[in-house]
Chain A
Amino acid sequence: MAKRIDVSGLNVYYGDFLAVEDVSMTIEPRAVTAFIGSSGCGKSTFLRTLNRMHEVAPNARVDGKVMLDDLDIYAPEVDPVAVRREIGMVFQQPNPFPTMSIYDNVIAGSKLNNQRMSKSNADDIVERALRDANLWDEVKDRLAKPGSGLSGGQQQRLCIARAVAVQPEVLLMDEPCSALDPISTLAIEDLIASLKENYTICIVTHNMQQAARVSDQTAFFNLAGTGQPGRLIEMGETNKIFTKPDKKETENYITGRFG
């Protein structure tokens, strides 16, 4: 498990609007890469190009290259649905399926794809995914209850369990903690730290302390100006970005002297 992502010369469009311009970066396997930057600079947009979720929006398109190990995921013969099975995603708002129980939510990836599996096999997958997501002890006695009955933090961990249950290579997280309280946030940060042993993880966050705590690499995005596309300003070891960044812009953002 865990693959490297290599992005080169990526431009991301919504119709005619260029949202993110010319991004090249390498995302290391078994490590956490944080994307930071002000609102609207295209962090979510960029993140969603990594598992081809971007094209779900009307008229959205991309040019450039995204390599998953040695497969270009934007090659014409690649099926976006298959890409999304390899690269899981966790969203800002916890979004468990309201019609499903906790159990069914965890195995939703196979269930919705009509994959048959034995009861014991499913039980194993559910338990492993929930343990991976640090949620097993809290829900093991109510697996048949609906997922929407859990607290926000538990729902978000359920969504993480759902994402890891399909055993992806990469896990993308778009501000997974921004709707959560500090305790749940801590639980998720611990979870990220333990998941990085097996996955490549990208996390968008608005919280600089969080980026500093959980990530190994940090990428800083910024807008050249209003109406301008977002760009990758600088990327490197988290330590370095937060202590002595190469660019003045990065330093301004990190130290809060922005604009």
Chain B
Amino acid sequence: MTTTTNKPSTGAPGDGPDIADRSLLTGSLPRYFAPALLAGVAAVVAGLLFVSGSFGLPLFAIGTVVAYTVLITLASARVENGRKAKDRLVTTVVYTCFGLAMVPLLSLLWTVLSMGIERLDGYFLSVSMSGVTPTMDAGGVYHAIVGTIAITLFASLISIPIGLMTAIYLVEYGRGRLKKAITFFVDVMTGIPSIVAGLFVVALWMMFFGPGNTNGAAGAVALSVLMIPVVVRSSEEMLQLVPTQLREASYALGVPKWLTIVKVVLPTAIAGITTGIMLAIARVIGETAPLVLTAGSSAVAINWDLFNGQMMSLPVFIYSQVRMGDAINYERAWAAALTLILIVMLLFFVARLVSRFFAPKLGR
């Protein structure tokens, strides 16, 4: 064994390194080739479609993407090599899929925005439907906003402590059978259809308060049934990400386990936990079915009292407006939908701030 080379030194000595060097070289398409090709293909496809008189956006998009994918792959296979051609092909497919995924999202946002913006104003946000007959050009969603906020807040108040503590139990204390059983039931809970959660709470309230006595609190409980497993799952994952070394570092300083959890594990994971909780809230804030069954679908007045009377919420408001079916109802429904989306976005914004505030700081 020598340190110089392990290549057999047969043949012309001058040839060896030269061939090896050349085999490392491969042609490459210039940087501007891909965008230029795309633009060219788009222009040609548009031209062809106009000439044949059948121009349409979907047809144009499909034609361009297909033609571009074929051409870039062929060009790459010809100029570059097989691996790069595959790379170009897969890259194009991935970008196309991303584009496809964005289509419904953007189209949804655009639709809600364009349909809802007309009616969404200070008046709409600040009045209820109290005293408004279905076809009157008046009324707003204030009562539904109140309901949504009150019910979601109460649901969070129930779910976050229960969910978080369950997650802490599972990660920090749980062993053996009980842990397995809890994990299993949390999984099962994740799969409960929301209407079943609503039905369950209706039955529960019937048992304790008699028939017809459901209220906002019932809605909140139904939502917690849906929310708890989501909180457990996401918090559990975040707690598991906290390195064991940190826990051991804390134990080694003579810190008891519970203080280690409260002051080392939770602060380290808090940013992720917050995000998970926000996702859980976003998951339930748009729930309709359980709220129709519990908090009711006919309330028109402002009601802050979770324990007394029916309570409107934004999704149920949208549902009941659409069911009435007049033009004005649709306008109200779209405006309410936009309101709901704005509330969720606000929530995510707050969550970002909160998790940035809590996140481990690197440099200041």
Contact = CB atoms under 8 A, between A and B. Distances in A.
B57 interface: no
Q: Could you say which of B175, B253, B255 has the most chain A C-beta atoms within 10 Å of its C-beta?
A: B253
A89 interface: yes
B131 interface: no
A149 B364 CA distance: 10
A67 interface: no
B251 A53 contact: yes
Contact of A163 (B247, B252, B267): B252
Interface string A12-50: 000000000000000000000000000000000000000
A209 interface: no
Given A95-B246, A97-B246, A114-B259, A84 B254 contact: yes
A81 B255 contact: yes
Given A91-B248, A112-B263, A166 B361 contact: no
Q: How large is the interface on B (under 10, 10 to 19, 20 to 34, 35 or more residues)?
A: 20 to 34
A139 to B, nearest CB: 14
Contact of B253 (A56, A99, A163): A163
Contacts of A111: 263
Contact of B360 (A81, A86, A98): A98
B243 interface: yes
A1 interface: no
A51 B247 CA distance: 15
B252 A58 contact: no
A108 B259 CA distance: 12
Contact of A99 (B249, B259, B268): B268
A236 interface: no
Interface string A78-91: 00011111101101
A196 B116 CA distance: 74
Interface string A112-150: 111000000000000000000000000000001110110
A109 interface: yes
B243 A95 contact: yes
Nearest to A172: B252
Contact of B249 (A82, A144, A146, A159): A159
A53 B252 contact: yes
A89 B252 contact: yes
A93 B364 CA distance: 25
B343 interface: no
Interface in B206-249: 243, 245-249
Given A88-B253, A95-B246, A163-B252, A146 B260 contact: no
Contacts of A148: 360, 362
Contacts of A162: 249, 253
Contacts of A108: 250, 253
Contacts of A99: 264, 267-268, 360-361
Given A95-B243, A98-B360, A145-B364, A109 B254 contact: yes
A93 B251 CA distance: 16
Nearest to A80: B251
A145 B267 CA distance: 17
Contacts of B264: 97, 99, 112
Contacts of A95: 243, 245-246, 248-249
Contact of A58 (B175, B250, B263): B175
A81 B254 CA distance: 5
A97 B255 CA distance: 13
Nearest to B260: A112
Contacts of A83: 254
B253 A84 contact: yes
Interface of A: 51, 53, 56, 58, 81-86, 88-89, 91, 93, 95-99, 108-109, 111-114, 144-146, 148-149, 159, 162-163, 166
Interface of B: 175, 243, 245-256, 259-260, 263-264, 267-268, 360-364
Given A109-B253, A112-B255, 15 more contacts: A56-B247, A56-B251, A81-B254, A86-B254, A91-B248, A91-B249, A93-B245, A97-B246, A98-B246, A99-B360, A99-B361, A108-B253, A112-B259, A112-B260, A162-B249
19 contacts: A81-B251, A86-B254, A89-B252, A91-B245, A91-B249, A97-B264, A98-B360, A99-B264, A99-B268, A108-B250, A109-B254, A111-B263, A112-B255, A113-B254, A162-B249, A162-B253, A163-B252, A163-B253, A166-B253
Interchain residue pairs A-B with the least CB separation, the first 10: A85-B254, A89-B252, A98-B360, A109-B253, A95-B245, A84-B254, A112-B255, A99-B267, A95-B249, A99-B360
